[in-house]
Amino acid sequence: MEAAERQRQLDLEAAERKYKTDAAERQRLLELEAEEKKQQLMLEAEEKKRAHELEMKRLELATQTGPASADVRHQAPAFRIDTAVKLITKFNEHDVESFLLSFEKIAQLNKSPEDKYAAILQAHLTGKALKVFTELSVEDCQD
C-alpha cells in the first residue's frame, strides 16, 4: 500500500508541476498578446499622427498656392490682337527674314498665342507679302 500511496503522491506532484507549468505558459502567452496589442495600438497611433501631419501640410500648401494662383488668373489680362499688333515692328519688303525673326521673338516675349500669329502678322504685311498671305488657305495659316 505504501508503494501505491507513493505512486499516487508522485502522480499528484507531477500533475501539480504540469498545472503550474501550464499556468505559467498561459501567463506568458497573455503577456505576449498584451505586448503585441500595445505595439499595434502604438503603430496605429503613429500612422494617424503621420496622416494628420500630411493632411496639415497639404492644407498649408493649398492655402499658400491657392490664392496666389487665383490672383494670377484675375491679374492676367485677356489676349488682345490689336495690342499685340502695336508691338510688332514695321514690315520691310526688302528684309522679310529679319522682320519674321523679329516678329516671332516679340510674339514669344509677349506670350502671344501661336494660333494668333497669323492674325497679328497680316496686319503688317504689304505688297507681294500681303498678296501671298491672302492666297493662303485658312488651314495653311493655322500650321
Residue 62 confidence (pLDDT): 82
pLDDT in tens, 9-45: 888 898 888 888 888 899 999 999 999 999 999 999 9
Task: Return the closest-CA partner of residue 142 out of 128, 122, 123.
Answer: 122
Lowest mean pLDDT segment, chosen from 8-17, 53-62, 67-76, 110-119? 67-76
Predicted confidence at residue 37, as pLDDT, reads 94
pLDDT given for residue 40 in this prediction: 93
CB 111 within 8 A of CB 80: no
Per-residue pLDDT tens digits for 89-107: 888 888 888 888 888 888 8
Q: Does pLDDT of 84 surpass 90?
A: no
- In terms of Cβ atoms closer than 10 Å to its own Cβ (0-12, 13-18, 19+), residue 97 is exposed
Is residue 89 a contact partner of residue 99, using CB atoms and an 8 Å limit? yes
DSSP three-state, residue 3: helix
Position 49 pLDDT exceeds 80: yes
For 129, residues 6+ apart whose C-beta sits below 8 A from its C-beta are: 91, 93, 96
Comparison of pLDDT for 59 and 73, the residue scoring more: 59
Q: Domain spans of the chain? A: 1-76, 81-142
How high is the pLDDT of residue 43?
Answer: 92
**Of 6-10, 22-26, 76-80, the least confident:** 76-80
Cα 31 versus chain centre, distance: 45
Using the predicted structure, report yes or no on whether residue 67 has a pLDDT greater than 60.
no
The one-character DSSP state at 76 is: S
